[in-house]
């Protein structure tokens, strides 16, 4: 059920997707035994990498209209490719988006299959990015269609978000659970919320203990400084450096090795999991009154509804945080400073290419 494959998707399925499957890089595991000809379906998945929609679409027997970050549609070229040709649906990240809700509902009513990554952004450490499950449960009740909960197993290990390169290994798209409209209608909203949270949950730390975790790379730690930015020993910020399978503090010399199972071994560092280190440094950063100045490239501004083109405010900026205020200094033109109180920031998302997009009051800044 659903629309035929758009031409660009048909070409990709018969070229790149065939190559992925032929080389055993990605496969489908219909663990819940759902009849995939009996749609439409709403797919809900964990989000590990930019290739997630490609991987899933490569093994799915039908076309899936993916919900994608609205920032991608700002590019005329990407809007043409993913919007018109691939029929993706834009979603403003980090805040509610009524137009997305309506567009998804319209697509499902037309018999199209829709894919959604509820976390709204890719994981950095292999664990689910926290979000509020109740609005998702309300959406599921609103749509009244069959919902497939799928896990992208091995996707994070294949190419972590922080990594410089892919590793050798396999990715499995595992269809874990199916909820029917009848089952959804029989649950109160809290029961549905808890069910959604249980069915969607995926942890790379938990999963890798139950499988033959084999993702090979001689440079497996390179890029890890993007995630591990604070030294656990000297508390240095942005002092971690990587080479091969090692991460080392340039300030105090503390060193850890990233093993073939993506665990940490070290004499000085008390963590064995990337998620442990990540959670610790996030807490430590939260205790600081401010952060030192960092260079930036471009500052843009748009409206609250993210409509139209973004205005360029500066092409040479620096950013610092003082006393709960993000201060963006324009180092060209009139040297203007923009002071954005953290308490007024309603959403903040790190998008592709290290782009930060946030809403402060009624304004969008990127």
Alpha-carbon gap, residue 323 to 162, rounded angstroms = 29
Contact 30, 175 (CB under 8 A): yes
Give me the mean pLDDT over the 121-149 stretch.
Answer: 96
Tell whether the model's pLDDT for residue 76 goes beyond 90.
Answer: no
Alpha-carbon gap, residue 117 to 108, rounded angstroms = 16
pLDDT of residue 124: 95
pLDDT of residue 303: 66
- Provide the CA 177 distance to its chain's centre, in angstroms: 21
Confidence category of residue 290, pLDDT binned at 50, 70, 90 = low
Give me the mean pLDDT over the 33-52 stretch.
Answer: 96
Contact 165, 153 (CB under 8 A): no
CA-nearest of 50, 78, 60, 74 to 13 is 60
pLDDT of residue 1: 47
Q: What percent of the chain has pLDDT over 70?
A: 95
* Tens of pLDDT, residues 296-330: 778 888 765 555 667 888 888 888 888 888 888 89
Helices within 265-327 (DSSP H only): 274-287
pLDDT of residue 299: 83
E strands in 205-289: 240-243, 246-249, 255-258, 264-265
Give me the mean pLDDT over the 256-274 stretch.
Answer: 95
CATH 2.30.29 applies to domain 290-365? yes
pLDDT of residue 71: 76
Cβ neighbours of residue 243 closer than 8 Å, sequence gap 6 or more:
221, 222
Tell whether the model's pLDDT for residue 288 goes beyond 80.
Answer: no
Greater model confidence, 63 or 2: 63
pLDDT of residue 5: 87
**pTM of structure:** 0.88
Task: Please provide the average confidence, as pLDDT, over all residues in the chain.
Answer: 90
Q: Is 148 helix (H, G, I), strand (E, B) or coil?
A: strand
Q: Give the CA distances from residue 189 to residues 104, 135, 140, 142, in Å, rounded to whole numbers and listed in that order.
A: 20, 10, 10, 11
Q: Where are the domains of the chain?
A: 7-210, 224-287, 290-365
Strand-pair partners of 216:
168
Residue 33: how many other CB atoms lie within 10 Å: 7
Strand-pair partners of 302:
364
């Amino acid at each position: 059920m659903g629309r035929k494959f758009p031409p660009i998707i048909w070409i990709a399925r018969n070229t790149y997707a065939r190559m992925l499957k032929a080389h055993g890089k990605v496969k489908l595991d219909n663990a819940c035994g759902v009849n995939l000809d009996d749609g439409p379906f709403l797919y809900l998945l964990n989000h590990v990498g930019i290739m997630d929609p490609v991987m899933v679409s490569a093994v799915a027997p039908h076309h899936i209209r993916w919900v994608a970050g609205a920032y991608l549609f700002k590019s005329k070229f990407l809007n043409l490719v993913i919007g018109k040709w691939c029929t993706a649906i834009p979603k403003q990240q980090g805040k509610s988006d009524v137009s997305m809700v309506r567009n998804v509902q319209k697509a499902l009513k037309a018999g199209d299959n829709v894919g959604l990554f509820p976390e709204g952004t890719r994981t950095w450490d292999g664990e689910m990015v926290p979000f509020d499950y109740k609005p998702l449960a309300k959406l599921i009740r609103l749509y009244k269609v069959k919902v497939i909960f799928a896990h992208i197993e091995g996707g994070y290990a294949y190419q972590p978000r922080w990594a410089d390169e892919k590793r050798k290994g396999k990715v499995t798209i595992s269809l874990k659970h199916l909820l029917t409209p009848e089952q959804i209608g029989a649950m109160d909203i809290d029961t549905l919320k808890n069910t959604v949270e249980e069915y969607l949950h995926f942890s790379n730390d938990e999963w890798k203990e139950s499988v033959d975790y084999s993702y090979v790379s001689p440079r497996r730690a390179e890029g890890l400084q993007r995630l591990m930015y604070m030294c656990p020993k000297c508390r240095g910020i942005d002092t971690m450096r990587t080479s091969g399978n090692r991460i080392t503090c340039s300030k105090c010399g503390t060193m850890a090795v990233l093993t073939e199972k993506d665990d940490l071994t070290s004499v000085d560092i008390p963590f064995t999991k990337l998620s442990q280190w990540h959670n610790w440094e996030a807490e430590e950063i939260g205790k600081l009154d401010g952060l030192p100045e960092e260079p930036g490239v471009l500052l843009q501004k748009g409206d609250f509804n993210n409509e139209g083109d973004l205005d360029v405010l500066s092409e040479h900026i620096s950013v610092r945080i003082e006393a709960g205020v993000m201060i963006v200094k324009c180092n060209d033109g009139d040297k203007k400073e923009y002071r954005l109180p953290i308490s007024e920031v309603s959403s903040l998302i790190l998008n592709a290419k290290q782009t930060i997009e946030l809403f402060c009051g009624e304004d969008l800044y990127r």
